Amino acid sequence: MLEGQLATPKAIATPGFAALGGMAVPALIYTVFNAGDPEAMRGWAIPAATDAVLALTVLVLLGPRVPVSLKVFLTAVAIFDDLGAIVIIALFYTEQLATTSLVLAALGIAALVALNVFKVTRTGAYVVVGVFLWVAVLKSGVHATLAGVAIGLAIPMRARQGGRSFSPLKDAEQALQPWVALGVVPIFAFFNSGIVLTLASAATLASPTSLGILLGLFVGKPLGIFGFTWLSVRLGVARLPESVSWGQLAGVAMVAGIGFTMSLFIAGLAFPDPEAFRSARLSVIAGSLLSAVAGVVVLMKATHPRFNPPEHS
C-alpha cells in the first residue's frame, strides 16, 4: 500500500472490494442455512476468513505461470481479510471488558504513536511497548491480535540513519517471517486440525452449520471476491490487476476459499462445545480442500499458454 503495485487508489481498491465481497457473501450463505438457530449463528464469521499462508503456497506451487500481480492481489485480499477478521473478533467474540486494562492499552497505543512521531527507528523500542500493549489488550477482554495490528501500523516504513536509507518495518517483517512460517503457523495447525474421520463425523457435514461453513468457503468466497471485483471494475472505482485475466481472477478467488487456520480460530471462539467445534473443524477442512483443488484446476487452465498467447512486439 505504501509502495509498489498497490500504491495507487484504484489499485488498492480492487483487493479491498474483493475482500469485502469475500467476507460478506460467505457470511450471507451461512446465515441462509442457520438464521433460525441463535446458537449456530455464533459461527457466521467462520467461512469469511482466508488462510493467507496456505492460499499463497498454492500459487507458489503453480510456479512462474501465475503472474506476480495475481500473487500480489491475493496477498492484499488476504491482508484485508485478516484485518476484517480481527475487527469481527473484537466486536462479536469479546465477552467482558476490563476498563483498567483498556486504559493501559490506550496508553500503549499512544506510546507507539509517539515513537513513530519522534521518528524512533529502533524496532526494539516498538517491541518493548508492543509487549506491554499485548498484555494489556489480552487482559482487557478484547482479542490480543489487535495489538499486533497497532504495532505493525506504528513501525516506520522508511527511515534514514547515518546517511543510510532503510525500512524498519521491512526489517521487522523479514525477521519475523521464518518464525511465523516455520513455527507459529505449523504449531497452530498441528493443535487445531487433528480430526478422526468416521461415518458419524462425516454425516455432520449435512447439518445446517456444516453446510453453511463448507458452502460459504467453497461457493461464497469465489462468488464474493469475483462478483465484487467485477462490479467495482465496471463502476470504474477499481481496475483489474496488470496482466491478469478474468479467468485467472476466478481461479484465485477459489483459492481464497482456503480458510483453515483463521477459520479454525474463529470456530474455537464461536463454539466452545467440543462436539460443535469438531463438526465446524471438519467443515472448514472440507471446504478448504475443495477450494484448493478447484482453484488449482481453474488456474491451470486460465494460465495455460493456449488461453494466454504471448504478446508480440
Mean pLDDT for the chain overall:
84
* Per-residue confidence (pLDDT) for residue 313, from 0 to 100: 36
Residues contacting residue 70 through CB under 8 Å, at least 6 positions apart: 59, 241, 243, 244, 248, 249, 252
For residue 251, name the pLDDT band (cuts at 50, 70, 90).
very high
pLDDT in tens, 153-167: 788 877 777 677 878
* Per-residue confidence (pLDDT) for residue 274, from 0 to 100: 87
H-run or E-run covering 165: strand 164-166
Confidence check: pLDDT of 3 > 70: no
pLDDT in tens, 252-291: 999 999 988 889 889 988 998 988 998 899 999 999 999 9
Average pLDDT (62-91) is: 86
Considering only CA atoms, give the Rg of the chain.
Answer: 21
Task: Name the fold adopted by 9-93+197-302.
Answer: Na+/H+ antiporter like fold (1.20.1530)
pLDDT in tens, 119-132: 888 888 998 999 99
* 8 Å CB contact between 294 and 218: yes
In the chain, what are the domain boundaries? 9-93+197-302
Q: What is the pTM of this model?
A: 0.74
Closest C-alpha among 140, 26, 93 to residue 270:
93
Hey, which of 20-34, 232-246, 260-274 has the most confident mean pLDDT? Answer: 20-34
